[in-house]
Structures are given as structure tokens and as C-alpha cells.
Amino acid sequence: MPRNLTYWRHTWALPVLLLLAAPAPARADDGLQAALRAALSWHPAVSGKQAQIKAREYSADTARAQRYPSLSLQAQQYTEANRDTSTGEDLSTPVTLRARQPLWAFGRIDNSIAFADAETGVERVDLLRVRRQLLERTAVAYAQVLGARQRLAVAQASLAAHEGLYDQIGRRESGQLASQADVRLAATRLAQAKARAERSMGELEIAQSELLALTQTEIPAEQPVARGLLELGDNATQRQIALQNSADIRLRRQEIERAKAGVDQARTAAMPTLYLQAEQDYDQPSYRDDTRVSLVFEGNLEGMGLASRGRTGAAVAQQQAAEDGLLDASNEIERNLRSLQRSRQLQAELIEVQTAALGELDAVFSSYQRQYVAGTKSWLDVLNIQRELNDQQLQLAQAQSDWVIYSLQLAALTGQLDPLVDLDAGAL
């Protein structure tokens, strides 16, 4: 093999090997789905609610433990020696070991367990509500970043257009075809365009900060929202789906179940309990070392029954409040749904009108430029139509952003964002 060919192969082999061995650059996930998944994975509101569910589960385990035997140990120490007269055994330290197994509590234990399970169910449904709210807030924040970036693009395009106009009037002033006043006017409009671009940049940074607070990780938020998520059904279908899938309504229904369990618990709280009791005595003066098995019927009537009556009345009132809360939640969802639907429709109409107006303004701007060169329009007319054109572009961008936001809020309200994060509301 020729020496130069060998050298060439060795020279190129090392960079190729280094390139293959180098790790691939990390690519940050983007898109609405990535933002929603990050929010549910990292936001402390979700982990906090999961901890509350775990606490309720432990409380339910505590309630179930009432079915198991209870053990107690009693030991005494007398100050003086106490000996048996016949055996001489020291009885100054008597010990009693007792085991009690509840046999029948007249529903008190079962209702206590049912109430604890109902409280756990409330926390689980509340977790769904927290997740749904987080999905909505994250989707809105993502759309706000997209809208802020779109408005920034319009502001930067306006800045570039004003810079071009300023250069144009500068050249005409050098050729003595324009006055110094026209140059100063163009400079003023250019400064205003720069301020608008800087303000738009600030709005974008604020929107990105809001999204970061929800996702807890950097999401570029450059990919547009999938069109399928924005295509919703008719208003009647949306209402039906919203009422069926609403986490607020499910939470209210679960609170009613908890309130019913609370009523049953309050009514049976004063019930007596039948125990199977076994006792083992050590060094007892009366019983000596003896084992006894007995049935014990034990009850406690607090405040001559008035305390139990008061707790039952309070539980019944709580049930009525929970039922009224369900009606209020349904009414609030319908009100919110109608508001979002009307706002979304209004933005769609604005987009249609502003798109048509923007086309007309663009043609007028071109005409004004030609008339200015021909001397039939003033420089102020050209700058005014440029500002009108930019304002119309910003209004169109804002309307498009608002339409996306309202669409995502409706999608969140009807549970249509759940499949993006594999959220199975029926499994809760």
C-alpha cells in the first residue's frame, strides 16, 4: 500500500472515530403533549395531592384495624410487701394481660370503615380535579407562549418595515426630495416600533416564565398546537361531554357519598359493642394465676344521647350541603362552558373580519407608497398606513392566539386533553 494512502486513511480515521464515539446532542422535547406530561410529572401540586391520598389510605387502614383484637397489659407495684398467707408468694406486683375481640358492634365499625374509604375516594377524585386544572393551566400557558412569539414576529416585522422607511426618507432627504421634518417623523415612528418590539419580547419572556413554573423544566414551546385538538364538536355535544367528564361534578358526587357515610357513622357512633374477652392474671391476690374467658357487652351514652343526636344532625346538614354543591357545580360548568363557547365564536368572527381587512390594508399601503413617490400623498400618510397595517396584524395575531386558548380551555373542560397524558379518569 502506498505510504501516502496509509497516511490519508489514518488522518481521517481518527476524526471519524471521535465523531462516532461522541454522544449525540440532547434534544429537548417540545410540543403541547411534552408540556402537559412534564407538568403532571413534576408539579408539586400533584405530588402533594398524592401524599394526601396516601394519608387517607393509612387512616382507612386504621379504621379497619378496629376489627382485630386489642391487647392490653396492666401491671401494678404496691408500696408494701403483699404475700399470700398459704403459699408465701410475693403478690406485690400483680399483672393482668387482656385480649378483646369485637364480635358485634351494631354497624359502628363497618360505618367507620365506610366513611374512611369515602374520604379516600374524595381525595382520589380531587387528584383528578387537580390534574385537570393543571392540564388547562399548562395548555393555556403554552398557547400564550405561542401567541407572544407570534406577536413578537409581527413587531419585529414592523420594526424592519420602519427601518426601511427611515432609510428611504433618509435617501430622499439627501437628494433634497424630502424635508428634515419628514426624517424626524420617521425616526419617531422607528423609535415607537423598537419600543413595541422590546415590549413584545418582554411579554414572551413572561409567558415562558409562566410555562416554566408549571412544567418545572424547559419547554421550547415552538411547535404549534395540533389542529385536531382545536376542532371541537357542536355546543350541545360539548355540554353533554363536559357534564359527563367534569372532575368538579365527580368530586361533588363523591362528597355526597362521603356525607352519606358520615350520617351512617354518626348514627351508629353511640352503639354498644359485644366483645369476646380473654384475661390472664399473674400474682393477683384474689385470682392468683388464672385464665378467664368471657363475653363483654360495653356501651357509652355520652351526654344522655344528646351528643350523638347533635353529631347526626350535623352529618345530615353536611349531606344537604354536598347535594346543593353538586347543583352549584353543574350550574357553574354550564355557565363557564357558554362563556368559552361564545368567546371562541367571537374570536373566529374577528379572525375572518381582520384577515379580510388586512388584505385590503396591504393593497392600500402599496398604493400609498406609489402615490408618495408620484407626489400625491404625504410622508405622514405613508407612515400612518404603515402603523395601521401593523396594528391590524397585531390584532389578528391576538385574535388567533385567543381562539387557540379558548379552544384548549374547552378541550380541557370536556376531558379531551386526557389522552395526551394517558390520564384514565375512569380508573380513579
The answer as to whether 236 is a domain residue is yes
Place 289 in a pLDDT band, splitting at 50, 70 and 90.
low
More confident site: 86 or 170 = 170
Q: For 284, which DSSP code?
A: E
CATH number at residue 158: 1.20.1600.10
The answer as to whether 16 is a domain residue is no
Residue 85 has pLDDT above 60, yes or no: no
pLDDT in tens, 388-397: 999 999 999 9
The answer as to whether 31 is a domain residue is no
pLDDT in tens, 146-197: 999 999 999 999 999 999 999 999 998 888 888 899 999 999 999 999 999 9
More confident site: 288 or 33 = 33
Residue 244 domain boundaries: 36-68+109-271+307-427
Q: What cell was used for 30?
A: 417540545
- Could you tell me what percentage of the chain is helix, strand and coil, using 3-state DSSP and rounding each to the nearest 5? 70, 10, 20
Is residue 272 a contact partner of residue 133, using CB atoms and an 8 Å limit?
Answer: no
Residue 17's H or E segment, with its range, is helix 3-21
Domain count, the chain: 1
Rounded-to-integer distance, Cα 245 and Cα 13, Å: 61
Place 19 in a pLDDT band, splitting at 50, 70 and 90.
very low
The answer as to whether 137 is a domain residue is yes
The answer as to whether 11 is a domain residue is no
How much is the mean pLDDT over the chain?
A: 86
Whole-model pTM over 0.85: no
